Amino acid sequence: MDRLVNTVRPYAWGSTTAIPELLGVEPSGEPQAELWMGAHPGAPSRTERGPLNALIDADPVGELGERSVAAFGPRLPFLLKVLAAGAPLSLQAHPDLAQARAGHAAEEAAGIPVDAPHRTYKDANHKPELICALTPFDGLCGFRAPAETADLIAGLGVDSLKPYVDLLHAHPEEAALREVMTALLTADPEEMAHTVTEAAAAADRLGGDYAPYATLAHHFPNDPGVIAAMLLNRVTLQPGEALYLGAGVPHAYLSGLGVEIMANSDNVLRCGLTPKHIDVPELLRVVRFEPADPAVLRPEASPSGEEVYDTPIDEFRLSRLVRPEGAAPTDLTTPTPQILLAVAGRPKAGEVTLAAGESVFVPAGEKTELTGTGTVFRATVVA
């Protein structure tokens, strides 16, 4: 197996302290948003044998196993991260596989450079993802019932928001949500900026349930995403709880530290809370305007003690192993590739001792035994 040397991405929304605290190092003072583990070409993990993506390219069957290559092609199908949100991320959604393939093909045919700021589809893959909290973790996920949102917005007492309140009382609910989102994203920028400023002042004055939206307005003044965020369910995960985010589900992470795993893709359609490009027609095609309570996942224990987060896709499978003092060795040998990430204690993967924040890549079929004390997240493939 290969000990991984991983890259920290310094996005502006990152916490300055959370990842350094996990790694046991001094903060640099700069934001540290995501610690990437995997073979994504944007920041591949490094090993003593070379970059992980180069190792896989040289021998995909040997590193990934026949099952994974047959199912997902000659690349690691998932990307594992530690995500540390010190400030809110953009409001966003991801396409399904058919939408990603069609969108990518269309932009390729149009000759839009992959690094162009108005490019939407960086690749031809979907991007389902799972976030598991390491600390209390705040986010927004999926549409709340429109009538509840109407009451929330009406409580701000902002006259220019009354048309949206009326729309949210209309039926069917899906059409009402679509119409409100469309109106918010296509409104006159000056008028919307004035509305957001009034709404932010009211949210700041009212506090309580409105406090998160005052915070959003502080980070993103005049952004219609502040109002769009009120359409979504507010969720707080406790450590060990998780959220699965499938195609078309609008979401945003607000604060906290978590382990995130996703299909290996960069395809993001932004809805607001960002200075970046928003492709409104494509966003409205991809988003699923279906109100639903967010399903908070708790791990299901297996006979071996491994706790599995059950999701409906095959590109990844995330589980957790909490090993007390004196626990018997756990055999993790599998015919698919895996990454093991320690978040507490000093567990051993084979002969490799892992401190918090350290990880290893285990090629498919390699004999792997987990010993020692601590908590380990295991990322692998369902194939």
Instruction: List the catalytic residues.
Output: 270
Residue 49 in tokens: 């044998």
In degrees to the nearest 10, what's the CA dihedral of 31, 37, 38, 41? 20
Q: Identify the CA nearest to 127 among candidates 108, 88, 101.
A: 101
Instruction: Report the distance separating Cα 247 and Cα 129, nearest Å.
Output: 9
Instruction: Report the distance separating Cα 319 and Cα 376, nearest Å.
Output: 8
Contact 352, 1 (CB under 8 A): yes
Q: Identify the CA nearest to 340 among candidates 328, 329, 352.
A: 352
Contact 126, 265 (CB under 8 A): yes
**List of residues 6+ apart from 109 with CB closer than 8 A:** none
